[in-house]
Amino acid sequence: MKLQFTKMHGLGNDFIVIDAISQPTSLTSLDPTTIRRLADRHFGIGFDQLLIVEQAREGGDFRYRIFNADGGEVEQCGNGARCFARFVRDYSLTDKNTIRVETARGIITPTIENNGEVSVNMGIPRFDPAQIPFITQQRALTYPLHINDREIKISVVSMGNPHAVQIVSDIDSAPVTSEGPFIESHPLFPEKVNAGYMQIVDRTHIRLRVFERGVGETLACGTGACAAVVCGIARGLLDPEVQVAMRGGYLRICWEGENHPVWMTGSAVTVFEGTIDL
């Protein structure tokens, strides 16, 4: 079976996008073993996530499915959402600038701006531990978490996927790759978690690194940027509009507070097209 794909990235967080509308694709041919092989940067194509464009089922314009490099399906991906929007517009699957996209956690509405960037309504963040999910007795702004014989302080939130955010003084020396895997698989997160490390520069600027669930550290994480800003605002440390600097580039995140959606704006870039024999 030959599979056509498009390689894209959002701030270095890279994807292959598969059009399963014009090119009907059975997901049985994209089992976790095949996805892991395609994700391998030496023996496959190489990517952080696989994005699949499908026909809508519940009143949206499209359906959007996301698979991590380890083959597991996940609920949401902010950088992927921007690439998804650019893909369906650039490949003439729609002529709309604003589209309604069904995800595993509800509808998102990406908008392609006049300058080519994409803004995405990422929905209302969820702080209820049961909705994240996070095992604790009651909701709080921060929680202690024991990792490798030391205690860290985290904020937890769901942006359609679970995030644990901690504040560090220096992002460059933060133990992202050594500590991140232990946070990701901590037993208090029954569905695992994305581990974010946030350095606050000032009330409108942060630096961020994220160890992503099922992937490892990526150059950028859209939902991670939303989660970090939301947690910072909830703790009274950030203003409603924040620029997030990640290793792959910058995002602008806006949040007016609880019960309001988070807006994310940034770039989405097509790298190349290809065909691979499965």
Task: Say which CATH number the domain at 61 has.
Answer: 3.10.310.10
One domain, residues 246 and 161: yes
Whole-structure pTM over 0.85, yes or no? yes
Distance from C-alpha of 18 to C-alpha of 266, rounded to nearest angstrom: 22
Q: Are residues 94 and 149 in the same domain?
A: no
pLDDT given at position 28:
60
> Other CB atoms closer than 10 Å to residue 21's CB: what's the count?
17
How many angstroms separate the CA atoms of 88 and 94, rounded? 6
Q: Side chain identity at 4, as an amino acid letter?
A: Q
Distance (Å, whole) CA 28 – CA 17: 17
Structure tokens at 9: 């990235």
> Which residues of the chain fall short of a pLDDT of 50?
none
Please indicate, yes or no, whether residues 86 and 140 belong to a single structural domain of this protein: no
109 and 8, same structural domain? yes
User: Which pLDDT score, from 0 to 100, does residue 26 have?
Assistant: 66
75 and 182 together in one domain: no
Question: Does residue 273 share a domain with residue 256?
Answer: no
Quote the CA–CA distance of 96 and 163 in Å, as a whole number: 31
Which residue ranges are tagged as binding site? 13, 49, 68, 78-79, 161, 194, 212-213, 222-223
pLDDT at res. 2: 86
pLDDT score, position 27: 63
Same domain (yes/no): 180, 107 = no
Among residues 259, 197, 249, 256, the alpha carbon closest in space to that of 228 is found at: 197
**Of residues 221, 226, 231, 254, which has the active-site annotation?**
221
Say if residue 251 is in the same domain as residue 174: yes
pLDDT at 141: 96
The C-alpha torsion from 72 through 73 and 79 to 85, rounded to 10°, is 140
What residues make up the domain containing 230? 129-260
| 3-state SS, residue 119 | strand
pLDDT for the residue 139: 96
Write down the pLDDT at residue 59. Answer: 84
- 254 is annotated as an active-site residue: no
Task: Characterize the bridge pairing of strands 150-158 and 143-147.
Answer: antiparallel
Tally of domains within the chain: 2
Write the DSSP symbol of residue 54. Answer: E
Residue positions in the annotated binding site for substrate? 13, 49, 68, 78-79, 161, 194, 212-213, 222-223
Does 104 share its domain with 174? Answer: no
Q: What is the pLDDT of residue 71?
A: 94
Active site residue 221: yes
Assess contact for 15 and 47: CB atoms under 8 A: yes
pLDDT at position 23, please?
A: 86
User: In this predicted structure, what is the pLDDT of residue 105?
Assistant: 79
* 20/116 same-domain check: yes
Q: Is 235 left (phi over 0), alpha (psi -120 to 50) or beta?
A: alpha
Looking at the fold, whether 106 and 157 belong to one and the same domain comes out as no
Residues 143 and 256 in one domain: yes
Is residue 61 a contact partner of residue 94, using CB atoms and an 8 Å limit?
Answer: yes
Q: Report which of 174, 169, 128, 158 is spatially closest to residue 230, judged by C-alpha positions.
A: 158
